Amino acid sequence: MITIREAQPGELAAAGELTAAVYRDESLAEATYLPRLADAAARHAADGAWQLIAVDEAGTLVGAAVYTVAGSEFADIASGAEAEIRMLATAGSARGQGVGAALVLDCVRRTREDKRPALVLSTKPQMTAAQRLYTRLGFARTPERDWEYAPGKGLLTFRLVIDSVSIESGMPALIS
């Protein structure tokens, strides 16, 4: 069973280290961006952003993600009243165990509870496993919102309209 919750102050360094390590080890981020990925404390302290963590039954940190809202310094593409998922990372040892899905579904739950109309995210083109997960959970591609974080370095975007999905159709057994 995976538990998703907001990180406690004593867990922020580990959440940041996990996020930066996953992006570094899989060549998903440039070296200059790694310090921002590692700074979970800054994300957690920012208005409109929450550092989430996934822990297994033993209490081991196995994943992390940021839930943020439009207008936050950590929102890249959220606009209006949308929410956004950022910096999703799953420990290599926990891949295939539903950690990423549990983090995404918790963000869906938060978006619904906040009465926000949609949840958005950006992903690199090579993150095909993540894209399959997003599609399976009901997200649709929004190519009109694709963007470049640097010249020639583009991101694909996805959006989930909250009224169009039921958490019950996802993996509720993974969320506690």
pLDDT averaged over every residue in the chain: 92
Beta strands in the chain, from DSSP E residues, in sequence order: 3-6, 49-55, 61-69, 83-90, 118-123, 140-141, 147-150, 153-161
39 burial (CB, 10 Å; 0-12 / 13-18 / 19+) is middle
pLDDT tens across 6-27, in order?
999 999 999 999 999 999 999 8
Predicted confidence band at 166 (pLDDT cuts at 50, 70, 90)?
low
**pTM score of the predicted model:** 0.90
Residue/partner pairs of 166-173 with CB below 8 Å, 24 or more apart? 167/105, 167/108, 167/109, 167/112, 169/138, 170/101, 170/105, 170/108, 170/137, 171/98, 171/101, 171/102, 171/105, 172/105, 173/1
In this model, does residue 48 exceed pLDDT 90? yes
Give how many domains the chain has, as a whole number: 1
Given a contact cutoff of 8 angstroms between Cβ atoms, the answer to whether 90 and 60 are in contact is: no
- Strand 153-161 and strand 147-150: pairing? antiparallel
pLDDT tens across 93-125, in order?
898 889 999 999 999 999 999 999 999 999 999
Structure confidence at residue 92 (pLDDT)? 87
Mean pLDDT along residues 71-81:
97
In this model, does residue 175 exceed pLDDT 60? no
Predicted confidence band at 171 (pLDDT cuts at 50, 70, 90)?
very low
Domain that holds residue 147: 3-174
Radius of gyration of the chain (CA): 15
Predicted confidence band at 164 (pLDDT cuts at 50, 70, 90)?
low
Which residues are bridge partners to 118 per DSSP? 161
146 burial (CB, 10 Å; 0-12 / 13-18 / 19+) is middle
Predicted confidence band at 165 (pLDDT cuts at 50, 70, 90)?
low
Structure confidence at residue 75 (pLDDT)? 97
CATH of the domain at 19: 3.40.630.30
Predicted confidence band at 163 (pLDDT cuts at 50, 70, 90)?
confident
